Amino acid sequence: MQPKIMLVDDREDNLLSLETVLEPDGYRFVKASSGRQVLKTLLTDLDFALILMDVQMPNLNGFETASLIYERERLRHIPIIFITANNYGEENLFKGYRAGAVDYIYKPVNPDLLRAKVSVFVDLYRKNQRLIAQEQKLVAINRNLEMEINERKASEEKVTELNRQLLENIARLEAANKDLDLFAFMASHDLQAPLRKIRMFSDRLLGSPENNFGKEGRLYLNRIQEVSKRMQDLINDILRFSKISVEKQNFEEVDLNGVVGDVLSEMEGVILEKGASVTVDRLPVLPASTVLMGPLFSNLLSNSLKYSKKKEPPQIRIRYEEGPAVTSLGGREETRYGRIYIEDNGIGFDQKYADQIFDMFRRLHSSVEYEGTGIGLALCKKIVEMHKGYISALGRPGEGAVFIVSLPLGGLNGELVEKNHDISDLN
């Protein structure tokens, strides 16, 4: 913006003369013919680079007007140059300076001297304006920084409070889970005794020659035994799941080749009965629980044998490959995982159920078609997660299934990493 200068003189010709000399330098002018008009103008307009004011004016002279101007704090930044035709002597000069004048220009006015002096004060005004603008900018920046700091403090306090609540919730959930697991363990254990008696008494009734049951009576007793067996299998699975959840496991270097070999030996009868072919590649040695690895592979192999096709012998392959290093969720460390694939040529499943099959009691088929309690795969997931690993499944109806177990090869302090496998991996 153009600097603004106030010209004050009671004679119009003097005002015109000053304006003519200074106009080429690009200033804007506000003219006043009296001290009162000056004061009135300054009530609403404060942004002046300089006031050029004649000393000798009627009513209020220049000295008096300057004194009234500088009584206002907001106007003290405006420099005043007195223009006078008289040399008042040192005493009057001091009076002018005390009133607030910064300089004098004597009439007749020297145009070059006037322009030079005005230029100095205008340059000071411009520098002052830049300093004011920078100060305002710094004030705004400081205000914004204070707001950001306050917001950050508030956010940190909120995050701290949320973390505290989260830790409390986790502690409560862990306690509730332990109580629930303990309750399931105790309840299932207490159900065993009456169930054993039901099976024992029904066996005696069927085996006793003194009881002449008809065909219908024997049918009912056989059904009682079948239902009792299913119930006992369910209780045993719940007990096994609860025991794994409650007990603390010790980890050591485990050779999975030996574990799978023992499982296959135990399942030899079922494998022969189904006419199954089981191929096992070389498996790794990794830190794990010897107690838990057996049930893991036992349930996965049982699942493949159970859901085989009726007119096609089961073909199961267990193979291994070393996966890439995975960065933990905190980004602090990398963990290398070993992937174990259990592949079969069974009835498969729709991929949309890939996550649901690991839920407790989740079954995609009725117990009439395929026996089972719906706990086996949930148990597998529990075991894998206790090893800081993850398990997933791929399948297509009628084309078999693949279960992928990923276990850490190094220490057991890595984060649990979620990973999705694309169904195209089956091709």
Q: Angle, nearest 10°, between helix axes 62-70 and 35-42? A: 20
pTM of the model as a whole: 0.46
Among residues of the chain, what percentage have pLDDT more than 70?
Answer: 74
Buried b (16+ CB within 10 A) or exposed e, 100-115: bbbebbeeebeeeebe
Element at 341 (helix H, strand E) = strand 334-344
What's the pLDDT score for residue 132? 85
- Given a contact cutoff of 8 angstroms between Cβ atoms, the answer to whether 320 and 260 are in contact is no
Pairing of strands 28-32, 4-8: parallel
Whether 416 has a pLDDT exceeding 70, the answer reads: no
Distance of alpha carbon 419 from alpha carbon 14, whole angstroms: 89
Per mean pLDDT, which range of 45-54, 272-281, 287-296 is the poorest? Answer: 287-296
What's the pLDDT score for residue 216? 72
Distance of alpha carbon 129 from alpha carbon 132, whole angstroms: 5
What's the pLDDT score for residue 236? 64
What's the pLDDT score for residue 9? 93
pLDDT tens, position by position, 202-211? 777 766 666 6
pLDDT tens, position by position, 303-351? 888 888 888 889 899 999 887 766 665 556 677 888 999 998 888 888 8
Half-sphere exposure of residue 254, counting CA atoms within 13 Å on the CB side? Answer: 20
Name the amino acid, one letter, at 33. S
Distance of alpha carbon 337 from alpha carbon 389, whole angstroms: 8
**Helix, coil or strand: residue 295:** helix
Question: Where does 123-189 show beta strands of DSSP type E?
Answer: none
Q: Name the pLDDT band for 178 (thresholds 50, 70, 90).
A: confident
Query: What tokens does 418 get?
Result: 């979620």
Q: Name the pLDDT band for 247 (thresholds 50, 70, 90).
A: low
